[in-house]
Amino acid sequence: MNESPSPLKKLVNSNLYARYSGILSLSNISLFLIDITGDILLELIPSPEFCRQICIEQQNKVCCEYRDRFDKNYEGRFVCQYGLQNILLPIKVNGEILGYVGGMQVYSQDTEYKKYMIDVQSLKNEKNLELEFIAKSIAALRTVELNKIQIHEQICHHIANNISLDLSESATSVDSNVARLSIEKEILEKKIIDLEAKNMSLVINPHFLFNTLNCIARIAYFEQSHTTEELIYCLSDLLRYNLKQEDQLHTIASEIDNIEKYLYIQKVRFKSRLEYTIDVPEKIRSYRIPNMVLQPIVENALIHGITPKRDGGKINIYAEKLKDTIVISIADNGNGFPKEVLDKIQNAENKSGLGFRSTDGRLKQYYGECYGLDIVKSDYSGSTITITIPTQPSGGVGDECGSNCRG
C-alpha cells in the first residue's frame, strides 16, 4: 500500500513555482525545497553544476553539509567546506519541522579566495570526473555582493514563513492571504521603482550618441575650443553614468564625480550666478549608494533655488558619518521650494514629484524604511535635503530598522 504524500509534497504538487514566480524574479541565486529526509522536492532556482555534480552524493538529495544540520535544528546561513555561502531555513508547523528551504551556493567577496584553493586533482580522483569539467564548474561559481546575498536571504525567509502558514492547521485563510499580499506588494513596489529608474535612461542608441559626442569633441580640440571640448566630454561621461541602470550599488566617490561633471556644465551655463562647494571626506567616499540619487536633488536646487534669483546662488554638498549612518546634505541659499512644488513632491498621485519619491524609494529598497531622502528645510533662506544611509547594507525591502531609525 502506497504511503500518502507529506503535506509539503502535496503543496509542491499544487504548482508551487507559479505561486512564487513573482518574488523569484527578484533573484537568480539557487533556492530549493527539501523534505526531512534530505530529498530535494523542488528546485525553484537551480543549483550550480558544481553543487549538483560534485557535492551531492545521491541524485535529488542535498549534500551532507545540509543533512548534518538537520539534527542540530540549524537555521540561517552557513559556509560549506568549499567556501560557498548557503542557507537552511526550517518549515515549521506547530513546532514540528516538515521540511526546509535551502539554497544560495555562491561566494561572498569575503570567501571568494576559497574558490582558488579547491583541490581539483583530488576531486577528479574521488568523483571520477574529467579535469576540464571540474575546472569549468568551479569557474562558473559566482561571487555575489553582500547586499544581494542579504536580499536573497530575505526571499528565502518569506517563502519559508509563507509555506509554514499554508501548512499550519491553526492559520486561517485570511492570515495566509495577508502574508501573500504583503509579498506581492513588495514585488510591485520594486518593479515600479525599477521602471521609474529606467525612465531616466535615453531611448537613443547610446553607442551612436557617445561616438557622435566624441567626434564633436575632437573637432572642438582641433579648433582650439577647449571649453567646448571639456563640456562635451563631461556630458558624455554624465550620459554614460546615467545609463548605468544595473541593479548594483556604486561608490559615493563615483556619484560625487558625476555631480562634479554636472555642476561644471551648469557653471558654464550660469557663469557667476552659480557657485558650489563639495565637501565629502575621503573616508566616506568608499561607501556604496545607488547610482543617480544625487543628480535629481542638485537639479532641483538649480531649478527652484538658483534660477529664480537674479543674482543666482550657491549649492553646498557635504557629508558626515554619524555613528552607524552616513548623511549626505545638499543645501542651497535660494528661495526654498514653492508651496505648490512641495505639495507635488508630497502628493503620491502627482507625477511631478516622481523624481524625489523614486529616489527615496530606491534608497529604502536597498537599506530599509528608516533611511532615504528628507526635505529638512525649505524656506526663504534656502533648502536643505539629506540622504541618509547605513554604514552597513541591510537586507533590502521591508527590513525593520534598529536604533538608527530617523525621527
Instruction: Provide the pLDDT for residue 356.
Output: 77
Residue 141 pLDDT exceeds 90? yes
pLDDT tens across 26-84, in order? 788 999 999 999 999 988 899 999 998 888 888 889 999 999 998 888 899 999 999 99
Q: What is the pTM of this model?
A: 0.47
Beta strands 325-332 and 313-322 are antiparallel
Mean pLDDT of 268-293: 90
Mean pLDDT of 364-380: 88
Beta strands 382-390 and 325-332 are antiparallel
Angle among Cα 134, 138, 142 to the nearest 5 degrees reads 155
pLDDT classification of 317: cutoffs 50, 70, 90: very high
Instruction: Provide the pLDDT for residue 304.
Output: 80
Mean pLDDT of 243-271: 82
Residue 215 in 3-state DSSP? helix
For 320-338, b where at least 16 C-beta lie within 10 A, e where not — what string? eeeeebbbbbbbbbbbbbe
Q: C-alpha 214: how far from its chain's center?
A: 32
Mean pLDDT lowest among 63-77, 94-108, 161-175, 260-274: 161-175
Q: Name the residue with higher pLDDT: 377 or 220.
A: 377
Task: Give the max Cα distance, the chain.
Answer: 91
Instruction: Provide the pLDDT for residue 236.
Output: 76
Residue 196 pLDDT exceeds 60? no
- Compute CA distances 346 → 339, 342, 369, 375, whole Å: 11, 6, 17, 10
Q: Name the residue with higher pLDDT: 238 or 215.
A: 238
Concatenating the DSSP letter of every residue in 354-401 gives HHHHHHHHHHHHHH-TT-EEEEEEEETTEEEEEEEEESS---STTPPP
Instruction: Provide the pLDDT for residue 368.
Output: 86
Instruction: Provide the pLDDT for residue 388.
Output: 95
Mean pLDDT lowest among 130-139, 287-296, 348-357: 348-357
Cβ neighbours of 221 (radius 10 Å) = 15
Mean pLDDT lowest among 130-139, 222-231, 391-400: 391-400
Mean pLDDT of 379-390: 91
Cβ neighbours of 216 (radius 10 Å) = 16
Instruction: Provide the pLDDT for residue 407.
Output: 44
In contact, 388 and 406? CB cutoff 8 Å? yes
| Alpha-carbon span 184 to 167, nearest angstrom | 19
Q: Fold match between 7-169 and 244-390?
A: no
| Alpha-carbon span 63 to 124, nearest angstrom | 18
Mean pLDDT of 152-173: 76
Instruction: Provide the pLDDT for residue 146.
Output: 86
In contact, 35 and 41? CB cutoff 8 Å? yes
Residue 344 in 3-state DSSP? helix
| Alpha-carbon span 281 to 278, nearest angstrom | 10
Mean pLDDT of 257-271: 88
- Compute CA distances 175 → 8, 62, 185, 293, whole Å: 19, 31, 15, 37
Q: What is the mean pLDDT of the chain?
A: 80
Write the CATH number of the domain with boundaries 7-169.
Answer: 3.30.450
Cell digits for 374?
A: 528628507
Q: Name the residue with higher pLDDT: 384 or 296.
A: 384
Cell digits for 343?
A: 505639495
Cβ neighbours of 101 (radius 10 Å) = 24
Mean pLDDT of 118-144: 89
| Alpha-carbon span 401 to 371, nearest angstrom | 9
The residues spanned by each domain of the chain are 7-169, 244-390
pLDDT tens across 2-31, in order? 555 677 777 776 667 767 776 777 788 999
385, with CB counted inside 10 A (0-12, 13-18, 19+), is buried
**Terminal Cα-to-Cα distance of the chain (whole angstroms):** 64
pLDDT tens across 325-357, in order? 999 999 999 888 777 777 766 664 444 444 677
Sheet order of strands, 325-332 included: 274-279, 313-322, 325-332, 382-390, 372-379
Mean pLDDT of 305-334: 91
288: DSSP letter: E
Q: Name the residue with higher pLDDT: 197 or 35.
A: 35
In contact, 57 and 64? CB cutoff 8 Å? yes
Residue 93 pLDDT exceeds 90? no
CATH topology of domain 244-390: Heat Shock Protein 90 (3.30.565)
